Amino acid sequence: MAEMKVNLCGIELDNPVIPASGTFGYGWEFAELYDINILGTFSFKGTTAAARFGNPTPRIAECTSGMINAVGLQNPGVDRVIDTELPKLEKCFHKKVMANVSGFSAEDYAYTCSRLDKCDIVGWLEVNVSCPNVHGGGMSFGTDPKAAATVTKAVKAVTKKPVIVKLSPNVTDIAEIAKSCEAAGADGISLINTLLGMRIDLKKRRPVIANKMGGFSGSAIFPVALRMVYQVAGAVSVPVVGIGGVSSAEDVLEMMLAGATAVEVGAANLVNPYACRDIIEELPNAMEKYGIKSLSEIIGGAL
C-alpha cells in the first residue's frame, strides 16, 4: 500500500497535500464540500494583528494558465480569528492547522504569533514575509536577508511551535534568504509566494488590477517554483514546503523530488474547489505508476 505520511517539523501529516493560505479561508466553510480531515493540513488565510479590508477592487485578473490577485491581506484580525474562526474550525477539523501570519514590523509579527501560539489547534506558524500586495510590510521583509532574519528571530522568541518562513520569489537569490532564516532559527521554509505581475485592459488602457500590480499564480508558475524549491532545498537542512502552480499528483511528486517535504496547493483550489481532494485521491495511482512505495523516501531525490 502507498505510504503517504510525511513528517513536517515534528508533526506527522497523513499526506503532504496542504491548501495554501488565501485559497481556503479559515477552512470551516469548505467542510460543507468534503471532509477536510482528509487533508495533510491547510494553511489558513493570512492573519494580521488588526483587521484589514485589503485593496480596492478589481483585485483579480485572468492570465494564460494562471491569475493575478491583489487582495492585500484582507482578514478579520487575530482577535476575531481566535474568537470566531478557530472555534468554528475546531468543530470540523481534528488536525493541527498551519497559521499564516503577516505583519508590518518585527514586533507586529511577534504579537500575532504570540496570540496564535496559545491556540491548541495551531500546529505550525507560517510567517509570510512575502506578500506582494501590501505597502510597508509583507514582501519588504522577504527581499532582504537581514530583515527576514529579524522577523524570524522575533517570532521564534514568542513561540515553541515550529516556525515556517514563507519566502518571496521576487528576489535575486532566494537560497541566500532561506539560509539567513535558517540561521535565525526557522524550523522550515515554504516557497514560493506569488510572482509580481500585471495586466493592462486594452479597452480602458489602464491596469486591470486597481492596485496596478499583483501576485501571479497558477499552473504557469510551476517550473519557476520547482526550480526555487530545488535551490532552497539544496541550501538548507530544515524541511521545505513547496508551493507554486501545483495542480496534480504528478506535480506533488516533482516538488517532493526537488526537496519538498510537503506541498501547498493554491490557485488550483479557486478553479476546482475539490482540487486537493482530487490530488490526494490520485496520489496512490501516481505513486504506483512511478514505483514509489513511500512518499517520505523521495524527498529531495532529485537533488
CB of 4 to other proteins, least distance (A): 24
DSSP 23-78: SSTTSGGGGGTS-GGGSS--BPPPB-SS-B--SPSP-EEEETTEEEE-----B--H
Backbone angles phi, psi at 102, to 5 degrees: -125, 165
Site for other proteins, rule CB under 8 A: 22-25, 29-30, 32-33, 45, 53-54, 56-67, 69, 71, 74, 208, 218-219, 267, 269-274
- Spatial contact of 66 and 266, defined as CB atoms under 8 Å apart: no
Backbone angles phi, psi at 162, to 5 degrees: -60, 135
CB of 121 to other proteins, least distance (A): 20
HEC string of 261-299? EEEEECCHHHHCCCHHHHHHHHHHHHHHHCCCCEHHHHC
Distance CA 41, CA 33 (A): 16
Length of the chain: 303
Which residues are known to be catalytic? Answer: 131
Q: Which is nearer to other proteins, 11 or 270 (CB)?
A: 270
- Spatial contact of 191 and 178, defined as CB atoms under 8 Å apart: yes
CB of 187 to other proteins, least distance (A): 28
Q: Which is nearer to other proteins, 174 or 209 (CB)?
A: 209
CB of 143 to other proteins, least distance (A): 24
